[in-house]
Amino acid sequence: MITLSTFQEHLSSTEALPLVSKRSANGQEGYLLKLLAALPSQTQAQQAEQLAKILTVLRVANIDESQRLTLMATVIDASDQLIATLRQSYIYETGVLSDIQMGYVAQIKSLYYSMIMVYDRVIRHKTSLLNNQRKYAASNGWQRYFNGDKSSSTTLAIAIYQTLLMYQKLLGEEALCYQKPSSYLWHKINQLYYLAYQYHAAEINMSVTAGTQRAKTVHQLYCQICLYSLLNVRAMRRPNILLVQRLLPEWAKHIVATIEPTTETRVFVDLQSDNPPTYLTASSTINPYDDRYHCLFIEIAPLVEYLKRRKQALVKEGGDGVESHLLNKIAMTLNYRYLQPPLTLATKHSAKEDAVLITGFNNIHYRVSHSHSFTSLIAIKELPDEQRPRYDTVNKKQDSSHVLASETFDRNDDLSLFRTLRLSPTVDTLNKDHFHEESVHENSLNNKDHFHEESVHENSLNIVADENASATTAPPALHMMSLFLVCRSDTITSPDWSMGVARWLDFDSKNPEIEWQVLGHQLVACGLRLEGRETRSRHFVPAFILGRDERLQTTGTLIVPTSYFQTDDRVIMRINSKQTPLRLGQRLLITDEFSQYEVVQL
């Protein structure tokens, strides 16, 4: 089985390639086709072993490169069937991947590595041939008339395209395992695109010659890979990652990527580095506009507009479901991170105080209710059957949506709307606690003079990831646009909490960070149901009242589970046996977990 280290060692080898043979490989082709035909009758392990042998033969065979590509297309068709079967064993897993599942992942990666090694030989041969042709043309003064061998350029484009496709699939597997891709992968991905650009192969249309489906050109495929990285898929649930992988080819059509910047975009990728696309800030290591660097500039504003239009179209068609919520979440994330990022200032560390971070709508409701279940909070025994809730909120010890941490309460953070949580090293030991919460350390700006005039600045809060290797494949406790509560670690003292939503998660830094938006500090747990003779459900559901906060410049709002209510609905709010009629105003925020509405008291 090929691992990343052996793969890297092979590609780094400077061993000279043998001269290309013009002889046919009909005999070998027949033998390979016979081996491929026998695959369905073999076990998965035998198929993987046989495919590895076939790929090795193809890599070392001294045949024409065009024929090598033709044979590779047949091998890929066979390997895709095995890979699809292996992936079914883990892509729908909701928690940590088992050793057996990780074994399947390793086998799939090994096949991708082997395929790349075959294509690498084609790329090396064709670049060598084109270099020699250029040298010959230059030495004879024909360089101005020299356009290169179109056949060689097309073969090179196909090989680069197929190699990038394998790297794209490798990145997809890394995301499903919630593992950071090796910087070596990005080094090779950027190197390949820059190579295609140098040899005028990036824009060659291969939809007919190579039967490509995900993209027509190397440029389009590279844009997909860049967009996949910009979306921060490791901060999503596995079902959403799979949906992104399916929708990515269409989305990528709406970004504009050019070597020469045509807009004022700050998103770029250094083609001579081992870094994925990034956003230009004052702390960036290079100036991409400097002529010394070779960068690709990416404009994502057209994509955000497309996502909004597509979401509206789905809603009109009655498809306000998983895809619609994902489109909304992606649009908000891209806008927050790359188009209109909040002002962030240098963080000043302050004293820390223990606290917890609670995730999950029902878990938050239980805590804000002072450990009272929802049915107890709304005095369910006094309600008729048609109004009684269909579920309760209780403290489930087996709930995996919590992680422990500790936090700081800095008294100078009253105007903070956007903040940063930083994972702390105490998580692993605190995870043994029965309440399954998250401890956090917050580092706040403690100089009021540094506040932005619109009350937007950054606080920093520490929370640290579990170093247990078996937990590295677990979905994060927080994902993009997750709702959570930051509060004291004990339930005896008076409440001192903040409700927020995760806007960006950075798992690549030494101490993983979560950028979040404060929704409010004054919280009351309640029940909410639809009023009137509507045909929709009139059962009470858990909800939160967020009080008006002049310092945050926020109005009073209601937080409710998504899909239960709509703008202008007349509702009944209930706490104990007291009921208050309300009307839902404008919807301020919607995710697949919760919606936030302005509220009008009748």
Is 154 in the same domain as 21?
Answer: yes
Q: Which of 473, 497, 520 delimits the end of a domain?
A: 520
Q: What is the pLDDT of residues 124-152, one digit of tens each?
A: 999 988 888 777 665 555 555 445 567 77
Is 534 in the same domain as 501?
Answer: no
Is 516 in the same domain as 541?
Answer: no
pLDDT at residue 504 tops 60:
yes
pTM of the model: 0.87
Tell me the mean pLDDT in the region 220-247: 97
How many domains in the chain?
Answer: 4
Q: What is the pLDDT of residues 322-347, one digit of tens each?
A: 999 999 999 999 999 999 988 654 44
Domain span including residue 332: 301-339
Q: What's residue 211's pLDDT?
A: 62
Which of the four pLDDT bands, split at 50, 70 and 90, describes residue 153?
confident
CB 155 within 8 A of CB 126: yes
Residues 6+ apart with CB under 8 A from 89: 100, 101, 104
Q: What's residue 236's pLDDT?
A: 95
Cα separations (Å) of 36 from 139, 153, 467, 510?
A: 47, 30, 42, 45
Is 194 in the same domain as 326?
Answer: no
CB 515 within 8 A of CB 422: no
Is 444 in the same domain as 553?
Answer: no
Q: What's residue 496's pLDDT?
A: 78
| Domain annotation covers residue 203 | yes
Is 417 in the same domain as 540?
Answer: no
Is 516 in the same domain as 531?
Answer: no
Separation CA 592–CA 241 (nearest Å): 15
Separation CA 30–CA 32 (nearest Å): 6
| Domain annotation covers residue 574 | yes
Tell me the mean pLDDT in the region 61-65: 88
Q: Which of 215, 230, 265 delimits the end of a domain?
A: 215
| Domain annotation covers residue 267 | no
Separation CA 69–CA 75 (nearest Å): 10
Separation CA 230–CA 333 (nearest Å): 10
Is 537 in the same domain as 584?
Answer: yes
Separation CA 241–CA 94 (nearest Å): 12
Separation CA 328–CA 306 (nearest Å): 11
Q: Residue ranges of the alpha helices (H) in 403-483?
A: 427-430
| Domain annotation covers residue 136 | yes
Is 186 in the same domain as 78?
Answer: yes
Q: What's residue 395's pLDDT?
A: 59
Q: What is the pLDDT of residues 368-414, one digit of tens each?
A: 999 899 999 999 999 999 999 998 887 555 343 453 454 443 444 55
Average pLDDT, the chain: 83
Is 578 in the same domain as 497?
Answer: no
| Domain annotation covers residue 372 | no
pLDDT at residue 471 tops 70:
no
Q: Which of 467, 497, 520 delimits the end of a domain?
A: 520
| Domain annotation covers residue 277 | no
| Domain annotation covers residue 280 | no
| Domain annotation covers residue 188 | yes
Q: What is the pLDDT of residues 298-311, one digit of tens each?
A: 999 999 999 999 99
Q: What is the pLDDT of residues 240-273, one digit of tens each?
A: 999 999 999 999 999 999 999 999 999 999 999 9
Greatest mean pLDDT range, 37-46, 491-500, 531-540: 37-46
